[in-house]
Structure 1
């Protein structure tokens, strides 16, 4: 058995995985990772990336460049031109990121699910009853980014982004093991609420959720980086018009994006829990009238 296979077998033991990735000083480790990942020392960089490859399925063959200044530079890498083109069909809401599809379905009685049998409140997630009303009969899909994936996320549709709300919180791991054990996990973790409107006026909301080792969230259209050290206003008004496929920002490690979509869109046939989806691939479709 290879070293990577031994590590995978070791970490797949749920009790041990949960202990190693949650029962530790989560916030302190996350702050440290934010600092450490930006160290531009060749030895530190090469050792960190080699260790990362050992613990994951990291593949840098799609990266635009082959040399990185730091671990952070590798985390937030761009891809070669022409990759991850957004679905051109105007009836399609595209996936905003590379991800593993998690819980998804209709929003019923203001509730969503983080895993089967583990509901949480849309109001607890968003903290705004008016926004909850806009999504009361909508759909949701949970997209989990692993550490080795492409970490940038893009506009899933032509939209007008009106406001971003930063909600401070914890940094629990967001893997399936933690989701089964920590109630309302997404409502406890640090997150941002990106409020947007589609051309026809329907609400489309993206909720990037931080996790352990996720040091920050970069939003290009606001020209800011949000993290646990962000102070001042928690609401950022904006007037950003984006086209489907435009780059919105990046995570500085793997995490989760919850997509809240209008109720008049249906899930595409490729959407199934546990399957991988790439940024730009079809996620929801507006049926023809």
Structure 2
């Protein structure tokens, strides 16, 4: 299709980090606060969940990366539960076979490429993956899905292609070509990889605090934030994760809700 080819060309031309930085600068300016009401209304954002009143935010970026009021996202209390790290929509979930994630929007991804060539990639053979997309309407902080210890984290440079439906269908290997942050969390049954994938006009994916995640995390703890819509990929080792029946492609998820449980052995 000629329009698909044009979309790919324009995306390639506009997917440089410089554009993301310029967009980020504009979103952080005080002038951008004039857009807050229109932005919230256009995307149907529930302002009552926000930590502050709309007029208290100094910029569009500050509102976009807002915290929520206490209690807005209860964390599932189950002893063995795994919770969603973000608000979003499940794009795909399934088994990793021969080092590959099952087709995501018609494209097959290598776990090794997604993890930037990390030796950890072999851990996830026959394990479970899940891809969750965050639209501009979603809450954009990323939290730990489990209790555990952070054993390693990587910052992988890359492009800033769009990760919306059209971008993931038409642009090749978006999830493994975009800039990423990867956090490896050792929990009671294995090591989980939490991959934060940047997107077009994302000026930053930031850890909280900026110098990296804490050594020990609890389910629901803040780990990072996106400064625009993006995607999270979860990788779980074989026989360590039992997904909830409702955790399937197309399902909406909210941070803190149960998406499955850690498998118990012995």
Task: Give the TM-score taking structure 2 as reference length.
Answer: 0.89
C-alpha offsets along residues 222-249 of structure 1, whole Å, 9 cap, x if unaligned?
x33xxxxxxxxxxx7x761011111112
C-alpha distance in 1 between matches for 2:118 and 2:258:
29
1:143 and 2:132 equivalent?
yes
Hey, what does 1:111 align to over in structure 2?
Answer: 100
Hey, what does 1:169 align to over in structure 2?
Answer: 158
C-alpha distance in 2 between matches for 1:105 and 1:135:
12
Is contact 2:96-2:124 (8 Å) kept? yes
C-alpha distance in 2 between matches for 1:269 and 1:135:
21
Hey, what does 2:44 align to over in structure 1?
Answer: 57
Helix, strand or coil for the counterpart of 2:21? helix
Hey, what does 2:168 align to over in structure 1?
Answer: 179
Hey, what does 1:211 align to over in structure 2?
Answer: 199
1:93, CA displacement in angstroms? Answer: 0.9
> Structure 2 unaligned runs (5+)?
none
1:92 and 2:67 equivalent?
no
Helix, strand or coil for the counterpart of 2:151? strand
Is contact 1:84-1:278 (8 Å) kept? yes
1:39 and 2:29 equivalent?
yes
Alignment of 1:270-289 (within 5 A): 270-287=246-263
1:115, CA displacement in angstroms? Answer: 2.1
1:18, CA displacement in angstroms? Answer: 4.2
C-alpha offsets along residues 91-140 of structure 1, whole Å, 9 cap, x if unaligned?
21110000110111011110014525411111111133520111112100
Helix, strand or coil for the counterpart of 1:93? strand
Helix, strand or coil for the counterpart of 2:215? strand
Hey, what does 1:72 align to over in structure 2?
Answer: 61
Is contact 2:125-2:237 (8 Å) kept? no
Helix, strand or coil for the counterpart of 1:171? coil
Supply the RMSD in Å over aligned alpha carbons. 2.3
Helix, strand or coil for the counterpart of 2:184? strand
Hey, what does 1:266 align to over in structure 2?
Answer: 242
1:287, CA displacement in angstroms? Answer: 4.6
Structure 1 stretches of 4+ with a deviation exceeding 4 A read 14-21
Is contact 1:114-1:184 (8 Å) kept? no
C-alpha distance in 2 between matches for 1:194 and 1:34:
24
1:124 and 2:100 equivalent?
no
Work out the number of aligned pairs and report it: 259
> Structure 1 unaligned runs (5+)?
1-13, 225-235
C-alpha offsets along residues 1-41 of structure 1, whole Å, 9 cap, x if unaligned?
xxxxxxxxxxxxx8599469825523233111111111123
Is contact 2:243-2:259 (8 Å) kept? yes
1:270, CA displacement in angstroms? Answer: 1.5
Hey, what does 1:4 align to over in structure 2?
Answer: none
C-alpha offsets along residues 128-171 of structure 1, whole Å, 9 cap, x if unaligned?
35201111121000011101111111110001112211111110
1:92–1:131 CA distance, 2 compared to 1 (3 A): same
Helix, strand or coil for the counterpart of 2:260? strand
